[in-house]
Amino acid sequence: MGKEQKNVCAQHKGAERGQGACPVAKKCGGCQLQGIPYRKQLDQKHALVKQCVGDVRVLPPIGMTDPLHYRNKVHAAFGRDRKGNVICGVYESGTHRIVPVESCMIEDARADAIIATIRGLLKSFKIKTYDEDSGYGLLRHVMVRTAHATGEILVVLVLASPILPAKNNFVKALRAAHPEITSIVLNVNDRRTSMVLGERNILLYGKGYIEDELCGNRYRISPNSFYQVNAVQTAVLYKKAMEYAHLTGKETVIDAYCGIGTIGMTAAAHAKQVIGVELNPSAVKDAIANAKRNGCKNISFYNEDAGNYMRKLASVPARERVPVDVVFMDPPRRGSSETFLEAVTLLAPRRVVYISCDPHTLGRDLDYMRKHGYRIMECQPVDMFPYTDDIENVVLLEKTKTERKRTKNGLEIERTGKRNESERKSGTSKSGNRRHQEELRKARAAAGSRRPEASKPKSGKRTH
């Protein structure tokens, strides 16, 4: 049993008893496992993962020593009750009715206190809460992001208008109550939408973002950035992912669905070169900035669909490109598309490290990979979300020996090699016929298309 598993034996006393301490648990619906001892929660999640992935070795979940107040991103909706009193909290499951919440057992306690203070300031500053039905009012939501390692705190006021009455005095009053706040941003969401954040941010105090440290790297987190909500368990998850990757410093790695580059930059310290691919352009910009901030010179980022990128890269004859050794994939909850998985098998990396937040879609995707030449070696669940029914998993897949041999001696490689050899002997061509060379040139160009400026690999060569 590993050190992380042993930590489960020393759970927080209240969590181990599993007492339903939250009075709004049933209405909120956010903590589906409220009232269940933490050890039993882990057992239930372990059974679920085993059921979903089938005949695969599933290790016991790695739990938290203290599974409370772990969420570093807290969002509160604002409104009024039937008596006209200002309330804030979470939406009742499946509705847009606000369930008032004073404090939450899985949210950062500092964030809850800040939100309560903002609610108390609204009356004195004559700030009206937004009404979804009428479209009248100003304050819609408050989001608080906290950094685990640095302690920095970002407060985001989501308003229906860019104008906040007496904003300077409001900021002073909020900071007087909570001097720990390092940045305050006004986010404008003037659309009738269920989305929490709008696209425009106005700086009210500080630098407009916070920074946190993860696995030796420092990351900038702005209001719209994606960042794992449980920093403690994210470090555990990434450590296991690196262990499964077996990196020795000689590998070429692809980080698919790379986001702001956290997995890729963690891998960059142990690989020859890393390629991050992400469809969201703002995430790619953050990733490039984070790479520069951390001095990662052997990682490049591409603003493209990861499946399309890998398919184009696979179309280049294997003799003409550096092989990809490892692919990290961390898809959204819906899992990967069959098109993406097909692209992975075409590229044929020796190892795939699959990080999943949904055991059901994970099981479906593993079935596909198993049928297309990969062996599922091991699955390690990591409890990123205690008291909820969610469980993160990291899985190691290795290409079977038969598949390796087929890829190594594939018809395309064999045909290209024999043709070039015969043409060299006859003196007809030094590098193949013109048509073949033109197709190769196009494939190379396509594989590198839509590339934003990125940090240059240590080798100084771009082979992708």
Give the CA dihedral 311, 317, 320, 321, nearest 10 degrees: 30
Q: Is 357 a residue of the active site?
A: yes
pLDDT value for 433? 43
List the pLDDT tens digit at each of the 464 positions of the chain.
Answer: 444 444 443 334 444 544 456 888 888 878 889 889 999 999 999 999 999 999 999 999 999 999 999 999 999 999 999 899 999 999 887 788 899 998 899 999 999 999 999 999 999 999 999 998 888 999 999 999 999 999 999 999 999 999 999 999 999 999 999 999 999 999 999 988 778 999 899 999 999 999 999 999 999 998 988 889 999 999 999 999 999 999 999 999 999 989 899 999 999 999 999 999 998 888 898 899 999 999 999 999 999 999 899 999 889 887 888 889 999 999 877 878 888 999 999 999 999 999 999 999 999 999 999 999 999 999 999 999 999 999 999 999 999 865 555 555 443 433 334 334 444 443 433 334 454 445 445 554 554 444 444 443 343 333 33
Task: Give, in order, the Cα–Cα distances in Å from 134 to each of 43, 183, 190, 231.
Answer: 47, 31, 13, 39
Q: What angle do CA 101, 104, 105 make, to 5 degrees?
A: 155
Q: What contacts 90, CB < 8 A, 6 or more positions away?
A: 28, 30, 75, 76, 77, 98, 99, 101, 104
Task: Give, in order, the Cα–Cα distances in Å from 429 to each of 305, 320, 434, 442.
Answer: 36, 17, 9, 20
Buried b (16+ CB within 10 A) or exposed e, 312-348: bbbbbbbeebeebbbbbbbbeeebbeeebbbbbbebb
pLDDT value for 152? 98
Cβ distance 240 to 380 under 8 Å? yes
CA–CA separation, 352 and 324 (whole Å):
10
Pair type for strands 98-100 and 86-91: antiparallel
CA–CA separation, 316 and 13 (whole Å):
57
pLDDT value for 280? 86
CA–CA separation, 283 and 291 (whole Å):
12
List the one residue out of 409, 408, 379, 411 whose CA is nearest residue 395.
379
Q: Which of 52, 104, 357, 379 is catalytic?
A: 357
Buried b (16+ CB within 10 A) or exposed e, 128-144: ebbeeeeeebbbbbbbb
CA–CA separation, 280 and 221 (whole Å):
16
Which secondary structure element, helix H or strand E, spans residue 100, and what is its range? strand 98-100
Backbone torsions φ then ψ of 24, nearest 5 degrees: -110, 15
CA–CA separation, 264 and 255 (whole Å):
5
List the one residue out of 290, 158, 139 whose CA is nearest residue 225.
290
Instruction: List helix spans (H) across 73-187.
Output: 109-121, 167-177
Pair type for strands 139-146 and 273-278: unpaired
pLDDT value for 281? 87
List the one residue out of 329, 345, 463 whose CA is nearest residue 406.
345
pLDDT value for 446? 52
- Residue reference for tokens 């049993």: 1
